């Protein structure tokens, strides 16, 4: 499945370090920029840390709250913002909905980076996600 990605984008694929076992990852920011000319779609990590603290403060967690309070919607990967700059090239991906956080009107992919990458490579269609909104 990822053979085409590996041949077209081999210069932005690297091997993780200090993992057991190490695995291949793609520079997701560079990938999106080359493939779709998407620029400025990555959120600063400091903002993500603040959002994470808000989720834990408001809901007591940062994962289950999407299942408990999120609404099911369909998303295009070109209309999302991101924070995780590397994504592993693994093929055992589920069909579970991604988690999308709406923060101040911006939809951020919170969880589901492997699923989005797999979706782009496989069929490039909209993907189901659970959307949760927070204001602060």
Note the pLDDT of residue 136: 64
Q: pLDDT tens for residues 67-107? A: 999 999 999 999 999 999 999 998 777 889 999 999 999 99
Note the pLDDT of residue 64: 95
- Rounded Cα–Cα distance for residues 44 and 8 (Å): 28
Tokens found for residue 68: 């408990």
- Rounded Cα–Cα distance for residues 9 and 84 (Å): 18
Tokens found for residue 19: 């993992």
This prediction's pTM: 0.92
> Residue 49: which H helix or E strand, with range?
helix 45-59
Residues facing residue 75 across a β-bridge: 127
């Amino acid at each position: 499945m990822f053979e085409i990605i590996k041949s077209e984008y081999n210069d932005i694929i690297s091997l993780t370090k200090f993992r057991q076992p190490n695995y291949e990852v793609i520079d997701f920011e560079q990938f999106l920029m080359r493939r779709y000319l998407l620029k400025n779609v990555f959120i600063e990590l400091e903002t993500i840390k603040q959002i994470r603290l808000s989720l834990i403060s408001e809901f007591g967690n940062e994962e289950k709250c999407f299942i408990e309070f999120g609404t099911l919607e369909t998303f295009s990967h070109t209309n999302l913002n991101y924070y995780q700059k590397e994504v592993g090239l693994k093929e055992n991906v589920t069909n579970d909905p991604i988690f999308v956080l709406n923060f101040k009107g911006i939809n951020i992919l919170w969880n589901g980076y492997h699923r989005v990458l797999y979706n782009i490579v496989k069929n490039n269609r909209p993907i189901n996600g659970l959307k949760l909104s927070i204001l602060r």
